[in-house]
Amino acid sequence: MLKLTSCKEGSSFLIPALLLCFAVLCRFQLFGDPLGHIDEQFYLFVGGRMLHGDLPFVQLWDRKPIGLFLLYAFFHLFGPYRIWAYQIFGLLSVWGTSLLLVKMARLFAPLGGAVIAGMIYIAWLDLSGGEGGQAPVFYNLLVAAAMAHCLFGTIIPQDGGKRIRSVGLGSMALFGIALQIKYTVVFEGIFLGLFLLWHDSRTGRSLKTIVTDGLLWAGTALVPTLLVVGFYMLKGYGHEWFFANVQSIFLRAPHPASETHLAMMDLLKRQIPLVFTGLLALLTLSPDVRKSVQTRFLVLWAVVAWFGVAIFGDWYSHYALPTFAPLAIVTAPLWNRRAGQIWLALLLLTGTIMGEKKVNQHIRKWGNAHVFKALKTTLTSPPGCVFVYRGPIAIYDAISWCPLTDHPFPGHFHEAVEDRATGIDPVHELSQILAREPLYIVSDASAGDFENMRARTYLDDALKQDYHEVYRYVPPTHKRHDPKLDSEIIIVFKRNTAPGQAILSSPETMKAQ
């Protein structure tokens, strides 16, 4: 029988304090910055609009589950401190996840290796855009909690599986909540469900009991989603929910092969160091530990998490974020060797430095609070309706919201892969928006790679005819000799003549957020 390592020593005050301080160190650069990743800006905007009665998939279209917007609606309740709220809650989620990783890593690794694994997870988030409030920052905590609950509730206790049904219900309930933050967790949820069924069968329970358990676990995981579907059907928006959450995903055009290759390489270079280190770490384990149920469970979790990223094929860098939790755990046993300790320390140091550089690059590229203040000053002199074709969505949340479109996310207009995949023709939607004469349009200096050129040409013609430039932000990272990077420049265009009053006269549409 494999003797498991005790986890009690990892629950002292020192280790949680160390991990919290390290998380603050890795994430402090972004604190208070309203111009984090555009996804986070959009989530906060939609969360705020929900507090005004707008429904995702109806008044505000997107594919993300409603749970993510409800989470950001909670952050919006903090009013002028909502930016700090989501960033601090992100910090606490990362910290909580790292504590769970340390506890799980202690099952097959020394305490030092387990702590390093928790720190690697924190540092690696910064390498893939996870320094703020991307969805995995929050749902990784739920997934890690579900996995830990299963490990310590079914595998570790020597009780013959007496608690497996209740443990399974708890774990799958956590996955059910996570599913309404991001649907990609479905693969990890299926893995956990299959593992529970396998473990159930090993305890000698009857086939009827196993089937009953499986149905209860699957039903529990689906409850939050079924409640959301039921709500939208009762409201008469069942079709809108289905199109946004299911059908539209399959309408996206494939990314060009060149873009896919570059994105894949960019994502893999963040994962390969952890994969390589994990393989080395497994070799340091004794055969009985390597073949143990808990070791196989943790390794399979890492494999399934990576599969969940690969199957969608978008390869955005932040899609790697869910893989870092299990990959970090698997690196921990390398601490068993002196050379392994040196390697892990160097890996952590390198990842931390590179992560901080990456966060700084993002801030310089996207702007900070000072840039946003300049944008707000420009867009309120005088105030008027704003349309963001390509630029910070935070403008809608911080200044004013005119419902010029029910597709406010810029990517649904300018990304070629989204052409006719979101329920609108972007060019027709642009014509409807411009017919309402917004006072300001926010865009960039030139078309980016893989842009929808139909929409871009239509917009550029309108800007040349009816608008003039009043503000320009050129990131310090911009290379003037590379015209391809002109898409990083933020430009505010103002209408040449006074706009019509149909929109501006509505108090609700011009209400400051």
Q: Are residues 125 and 180 in the same domain?
A: yes
| pLDDT of res. 511 | 35
**Could you list the pLDDT tens digit for every one of the 513 residues in the chain?**
334 344 455 457 999 999 999 999 999 999 999 999 999 999 999 999 999 999 999 999 999 999 999 999 999 999 999 999 999 999 999 999 999 999 999 999 999 999 999 999 999 999 999 999 999 999 999 999 999 999 998 877 766 566 899 999 999 999 999 999 999 999 999 999 999 999 888 888 889 999 999 999 999 999 999 999 999 999 999 999 999 999 999 998 887 777 777 778 888 888 999 999 999 999 999 999 999 999 999 999 999 998 888 777 666 788 899 999 999 999 999 999 999 999 999 999 999 999 999 999 999 999 999 999 999 999 999 999 999 999 999 999 998 899 999 999 999 999 999 998 999 999 999 999 999 999 999 999 887 778 999 999 999 999 999 999 999 999 987 766 565 566 789 999 999 986 554 343 333 333 333
What's the pLDDT tens digit per position in 369-397?
A: 999 999 999 999 999 999 999 999 999 99
What's the pLDDT tens digit per position in 52-97?
A: 999 999 999 999 999 999 999 999 999 999 999 999 999 999 999 9
In a 10 Å sphere around its CB, with 0-12 CB exposed, 13-18 middle and 19+ buried, how is residue 230 labelled? exposed
Is residue 509, in this structure, part of any structural domain at all?
no
Q: Identify the CA nearest to 188 among candidates 35, 88, 94, 301.
A: 301
H helices within 63-185, ranges in order? Answer: 66-76, 82-105, 111-127, 135-150, 164-179
Domain end position, chosen among 330, 363, 396: 363
| pLDDT of res. 160 | 55
Token pair belonging to 100: 């769970």
Strand partners, 451: 415
Is residue 505, in this structure, part of any structural domain at all?
no
Is residue 504, in this structure, part of any structural domain at all?
no
Q: Are residues 338 and 429 in the same domain?
A: no
C-alpha dihedral sign at 328, 331, 333, 338? negative
Phi, psi of 473 (to 5 degrees): -115, 115
What single-letter amino acid sits at 12? S
Domain end position, chosen among 297, 331, 363: 363
Q: Are residues 232 and 308 in the same domain?
A: yes
Q: Which residues form the domain of 381? A: 368-495
Q: Are residues 309 and 442 in the same domain?
A: no
Is residue 236, in this structure, part of any structural domain at all?
yes
**How many structural domains comprise the chain?**
2
Domain end position, chosen among 339, 363, 387: 363
Q: Identify the CA nearest to 222 among candidates 188, 175, 261.
A: 175
Q: Are residues 410 and 312 in the same domain?
A: no
CA distance 409 to 300: 36
Q: Are residues 294 and 266 in the same domain?
A: yes
Write down the number of H helices and E strands in the chain: 20, 4
DSSP helix/strand/coil, 433:
helix
Q: 513 with 397: CB under 8 angstroms?
A: yes
What's the pLDDT tens digit per position in 454-466?
A: 999 999 999 999 9
Q: 392 with 442: CB under 8 angstroms?
A: yes
| pLDDT of res. 314 | 66
Q: Are residues 198 and 276 in the same domain?
A: yes
Q: Are residues 342 and 416 in the same domain?
A: no
Phi, psi of 471 (to 5 degrees): -155, 145
Q: Identify the CA nearest to 503 among candidates 391, 388, 401, 377.
A: 401
CA distance 159 to 16: 30
Is residue 2, in this structure, part of any structural domain at all?
no
| pLDDT of res. 484 | 59
CA distance 118 to 112: 10
| pLDDT of res. 468 | 96
Q: Are residues 79 and 226 in the same domain?
A: yes
CA distance 239 to 278: 45
Is residue 513, in this structure, part of any structural domain at all?
no
Q: Identify the CA nearest to 330 among candidates 312, 319, 344, 318.
A: 344
Is residue 50, in this structure, part of any structural domain at all?
yes
Q: Are residues 316 and 389 in the same domain?
A: no
Q: Are residues 110 and 237 in the same domain?
A: yes
Token pair belonging to 109: 């690794």
Is residue 397, in this structure, part of any structural domain at all?
yes
pTM of the model: 0.92
Q: Are residues 112 and 192 in the same domain?
A: yes
